[in-house]
Amino acid sequence: MKIKALAAMQAAAPLQPYSVERREVGPHDVRIEILYCGICHSDLHQVHDDWKGGIYPMVPGHEIIGRVAEVGASVHRFQTGMLTGVGCLVDSCRSCGPCQQHEEQYCVSGCVMTYNSYERDSKTPTFGGYSKQVVVDERYVLQVSDKLELSAVAPLLCAGITTFSPLKRFATKPKSRIGVMGLGGLGHMAVKIAAAMGHEVCMLSTSAKKAADAKRLGAHDFVLTTDADAERRLRRRFDLILNTVSAPHDVGAALNYLDLHGTMVILGAPPHGTQLHPGALIGGATQVAGSLVGGIKQTQEMLDFCAAHHLTADVELCGADEVNTAFARLRKNDVKYRFVIDMQTLN
């Protein structure tokens, strides 16, 4: 089945109209008519091949909201017309340790990502949500509430789960002191979700103009990390820092913001890292961890949590013909706070 899409034909190329082949609906598959797809900074990294190994033509998009158009004979959880979400992964081996523990994103054989990846046959490329339709095994499809603004729900499928997951894992005290580094797509969801969980949240930003927004989003405090007295104000303040910064930066300096035994979780994935001096960790007995999106079960838990707390993203809706402008603005740190493509405008 030929489906209209937007693709980068090679690394760093602008997105252009393209058509992709979607498989016929198998017994366990759901065919989804895509309504909205968020633009994650990872889409920008991958189109620019920042992480190397990009597969082109590339159709990005892993923050997908759509309506079920067709279900396979053995599909039980979904019916035609239901609202659904698809996030960053669409398949995995289903039998390894991580898959058994509902952490399919860490599948030992490598999970199948929604795009820029290969199906389990290792040869069929996957194409993402900057397209009109997608076919996904029901085990990797999420149920979405119809009570929330759908375009603003789309970013939960990546920005939401990527911040929810480490909060569940590391913010174990009832009122943890949390620093969120970087007020972008991930950062703004981190603030909203952490505040809704009852934690004390401080926004750590390099953009003075975002201070008022940080407070509006739920942050209890805002510190401009480039200020002369930031180091003094932030020293030993947090139990947990969620680091969502998309560009290379001094991670070691920010470790000084952690209290004894505090943890920094790296979520941002710049093209390359910076050196970390052992003293930065030893001096405060701190730890650095990483976290990749979240498993399917936890993604459903996050969507249900957001529906219960009326949490959605702050979005700037754009048409299919505005995607390259959105990419350029995202690159310049100019978005409030997630671009979402209205896929009905792709004709």
Binding site for ligand NAP (CB under 6 A): 40-42, 45, 158, 162, 182-187, 205-207, 210, 244-247, 249, 267-270, 291-293, 330, 333, 335
Q: How many residues does the chain have?
A: 347
DSSP string, 108-140: TT--EESSSSB-TTSSSB---SSBSEEEEEGGG
Instruction: Compare residues 5 and 71 and give the one whose CB is closer to Zn ion.
Output: 5
CB 204 within 8 A of CB 181: yes
* 3-class DSSP state of 283: coil
- Give least dist CB 210 to ligand NAP, A: 5
CB 262 within 8 A of CB 281: no
- Picked from Zn ion, ligand NAP, none, the partner binding residue 99 (CB below 5 to 8 A depending on kind) is Zn ion
Neighbours of 342 (CB within 10 A): 15
- Picked from ligand NAP, Zn ion, none, the partner binding residue 116 (CB below 5 to 8 A depending on kind) is none
- Give least dist CB 315 to ligand NAP, A: 12
Q: Which residue has the tokens 């000084």?
A: 256
- Picked from Zn ion, ligand NAP, none, the partner binding residue 186 (CB below 5 to 8 A depending on kind) is ligand NAP
- Give least dist CB 321 to ligand NAP, A: 22
- Picked from ligand NAP, Zn ion, none, the partner binding residue 249 (CB below 5 to 8 A depending on kind) is ligand NAP
**Which among 85-93, 205-213, 234-242, 281-289 is the span making contact with Zn ion, rule CB under 5 A?**
85-93
Tell me if 189 contacts Zn ion by CB under 5 A.
no
CB 264 within 8 A of CB 289: yes
Q: Is the dihedral of CA 240, 97, 305, 154 positive or negative?
A: positive
Q: Where do runs of H (alpha helix) occur along 63-184?
A: 97-100, 150-153, 159-170
Tell me if 96 contacts Zn ion by CB under 5 A.
yes
- Picked from ligand NAP, Zn ion, none, the partner binding residue 93 (CB below 5 to 8 A depending on kind) is Zn ion
- Picked from Zn ion, ligand NAP, none, the partner binding residue 218 (CB below 5 to 8 A depending on kind) is none
Q: Is 206 exposed, middle or buried (0-12, 13-18, 19+ CB in 10 A)?
A: middle
Instruction: Compare residues 35 and 89 and give the one whose CB is closer to ligand NAP.
Output: 89
Which residue from 226, 227, 287, 233 is spatially nearest to 257, judged by alpha carbons? Answer: 233
- Give least dist CB 238 to ligand NAP, A: 16
Q: Given its phi and psi angles, is residue 293 left (phi above 0), alpha (psi -120 to 50 degrees) or beta?
A: left
**Which among 1-9, 48-56, 107-115, 231-239 is the span making contact with Zn ion, rule CB under 5 A?**
107-115
Instruction: Compare residues 34 and 293 and give the one whose CB is closer to ligand NAP.
Output: 293
CA dihedral 131, 135, 140, 145 (to 10 degrees): 60
Instruction: Compare residues 123 and 272 and give the one whose CB is closer to ligand NAP.
Output: 272
- Give least dist CB 224 to ligand NAP, A: 9
Instruction: Compare residues 135 and 142 and give the one whose CB is closer to ligand NAP.
Output: 142
* 3-class DSSP state of 37: strand
120-179 positions binding Zn ion, by CB under 5 A: 158
Instruction: Compare residues 176 and 244 and give the one whose CB is closer to ligand NAP.
Output: 244
End-to-end CA distance of the chain: 16
CB 59 within 8 A of CB 114: no
Tell me if 296 contacts Zn ion by CB under 5 A.
no
Instruction: Compare residues 42 and 263 and give the one whose CB is closer to Zn ion.
Output: 42
* 3-class DSSP state of 344: helix
Strands 238-243 vs 177-181: parallel, antiparallel or unpaired: parallel
Instruction: Compare residues 133 and 205 and give the one whose CB is closer to ligand NAP.
Output: 205
| Contacting positions for Zn ion (CB under 5 A) | 40, 42, 92-93, 96, 99, 107, 158
